[in-house]
Amino acid sequence: MASSIRSNCRKIVAIGRNYADHIKELNNAAPKQPFFFLKPPSSILLPGQGPILRPSGVSLHYEVELGLVMGKGLRNLDPQDEETALSSIGGYLVSIDMTARNVQDEAKKKGLPWSIAKGFDTFLPVSSYIPKAKIPNPHKADLWLSLNDQLRQNDSTELMIFRIPRILSDISRVMSLEPGDIVLTGTPKGVGEVKTGDKLKAGIRVDGKDINEGAIDVT
Amino acid sequence: MASSIRSNCRKIVAIGRNYADHIKELNNAAPKQPFFFLKPPSSILLPGQGPILRPSGVSLHYEVELGLVMGKGLRNLDPQDEETALSSIGGYLVSIDMTARNVQDEAKKKGLPWSIAKGFDTFLPVSSYIPKAKIPNPHKADLWLSLNDQLRQNDSTELMIFRIPRILSDISRVMSLEPGDIVLTGTPKGVGEVKTGDKLKAGIRVDGKDINEGAIDVT
Ligand SMILES: [Mg+2]
Ligand SMILES: [Mg+2]
Ligand SMILES: [Mg+2]
């Protein structure tokens, strides 16, 4: 099942700046509407297939995110149509949106695309596929990430600035979503740098309990 | 065959600023190394499936480009290894990298990703698949585009700043290329705006003769 996450995926659309405290920590402006970027399917790192590759000269940062795996296609979704939005989700995964922060900062300064900073092979470690029923409300779960067993990110998905129906609407009005596509919903505060050999763990809790399928454990 | 261009494609990697005169016309800085961005496979518009969609408020520009359809995977290619580079190409296509220029200009100013400006549905009209043998030397062909039957772009691919082995090397050192992936090699001078109802035609000539499979005719 895990390998089908990668083989079924034709695009990964990632929302930027979707948790207020994370926007502050990077000194970014809060967006008036969701903005997003693409990561290539070739960046997916399946469970057990680590380590994360560290390109030389790169300052590598982690960003834990809730991923939506599309079960149905979506195009031009009405932002009010919460029912269609939620029913288009096939399942979930936990992911780490690895970012070459220095490359991204340079790109921002020059007005260049983010694709290189976000797109290296192994830059999207994912958990196993989480069946939809395990997360009854995707706006009510706790995402966490630890670095060398120290908790660094730990926040509720209810802190999302733009909620899932709005995100899916905005994306689908630009680019059609197809079954198997992955949508990353943004990262809470606490992002930081990873050094060679650092151990990353991440997961998601519902009602205070970790979901087995949502575990990431990667170096 | 045309529909398999889309169904086999898992990513589209597009090189920016690869013809000197096009860099001047947009007042851009010449890159010291190739940079690239992603377009989603959902942006592919197959022959006969037009028209191109014009999102409201968008200044829509055309950029004709030679596309490489990967026949083999590539990872960490040595830039000197011209033979592996060329043998990894499965075939070619002519494409128009449609761009929401005002959205892109805004993104550049704010240091935001280009994915929206480049990623709308129908923003990549393509020709049919061009068998590899029809373009014996991809650096010796003439790309052209006409707007309402007036020639607007018409230059030789020998004007590429970064040639194909270098492009494939740089991309493959960031993200693995997979069979079916499409690489867009940049646009020559002459880009411009398209208004509703405008007729775009494009093609590629080898030894002064248009290749049938390379024709684009879209509104
Ligand atoms: Mg993609
Ligand atoms: Mg992120
Ligand atoms: Mg282009």
Indicate whether B23 pLDDT > 90.
no
Of the candidates B16, B119, B174, the beta carbon closest to that of A38 is on B119
Question: What average pLDDT does this structure show over A130-145?
Answer: 98
Chain A residues whose CB is inside 8 A of the B115 CB are: 13, 36-38, 113-114
Name residues with Cβ closer than 5 Å to ligand 3, which is an ion: B 63, 97, 187
In one-letter notation, the amino acid at residue A80 is Q
Per-residue confidence band for A139, with pLDDT thresholds at 50, 70 and 90: very high
CA distance B109 to chain A (A): 6
Contact B111 A116 (CB under 8 A): no
- pLDDT of A3 reads 83
Instruction: Supply A138's token pair.
Output: 């995707």
Q: Residue ranges per domain, chain B?
A: 2-218
Per-residue confidence band for B21, with pLDDT thresholds at 50, 70 and 90: confident
Chain A residues whose CB is inside 8 A of the B120 CB are: 174-175
Indicate whether A56 pLDDT > 80.
yes
Per-residue confidence band for B17, with pLDDT thresholds at 50, 70 and 90: confident
Contact B175 A43 (CB under 8 A): yes
Indicate whether B1 pLDDT > 70.
no
Contact B38 A116 (CB under 8 A): no
Other Cβ atoms closer than 10 A to B72: 12
- Pick the closest to residue B60 from B212, B173, B193, B187 (CA basis): B193
The dihedral built from the CA positions of residue A157, A158, A161 and A167, taken in this order, carries a sign that is positive
Spatial contact of A66 and A142, defined as CB atoms under 8 Å apart: no
Q: What is the ipTM for the molecules in this complex?
A: 0.94
SS3 of A121, please? Answer: coil
DSSP result, B22-88? HHHHTTPPPPSS-EEEEE-GGGEE-TT--PPP--TT--EEE-EEEEEEESS-B-S--TT-HHHHHHH
Q: What digits encode the pLDDT tens for the residues B52-73?
A: 999 989 999 999 999 999 999 9
Indicate whether B76 pLDDT > 90.
yes
What's chain A's average pLDDT? Answer: 95
- pLDDT of B26 reads 75
Measured CA distances, B22 to B30, B151, B171, B203 (Å): 10, 16, 21, 18
Contact B112 A175 (CB under 8 A): no
Closest-CA residue of A relative to B44 is: A175
Closest-CA residue of A relative to B9 is: A10
Other Cβ atoms closer than 10 A to A55: 15
- Residue of A11, A118, A173, A182 to mutate, testing the B interface (most B Cβ within 10 Å of its Cβ): A11
Is 3.40.640.10 the CATH number for B2-218?
no
Q: What digits encode the pLDDT tens for the residues B119-177?
A: 999 999 999 999 999 999 999 999 999 999 999 999 999 999 999 999 999 999 999 99
A143: phi then psi, degrees, rounded to nearest 5: -95, 135
DSSP result, A43-88? GEE-TT--PPP--TT--EEE-EEEEEEESS-B-S--TT-HHHHHHH
Contact B116 A174 (CB under 8 A): yes
A102: phi then psi, degrees, rounded to nearest 5: -65, -35
Contact residues, chain B to chain A, C-beta under 8 Å: 9-11, 13, 16, 29, 35-43, 55, 75, 107-116, 119-121, 174-178
Question: What average pLDDT does this structure show over A144-156?
Answer: 97
Indicate whether A1 pLDDT > 70.
no
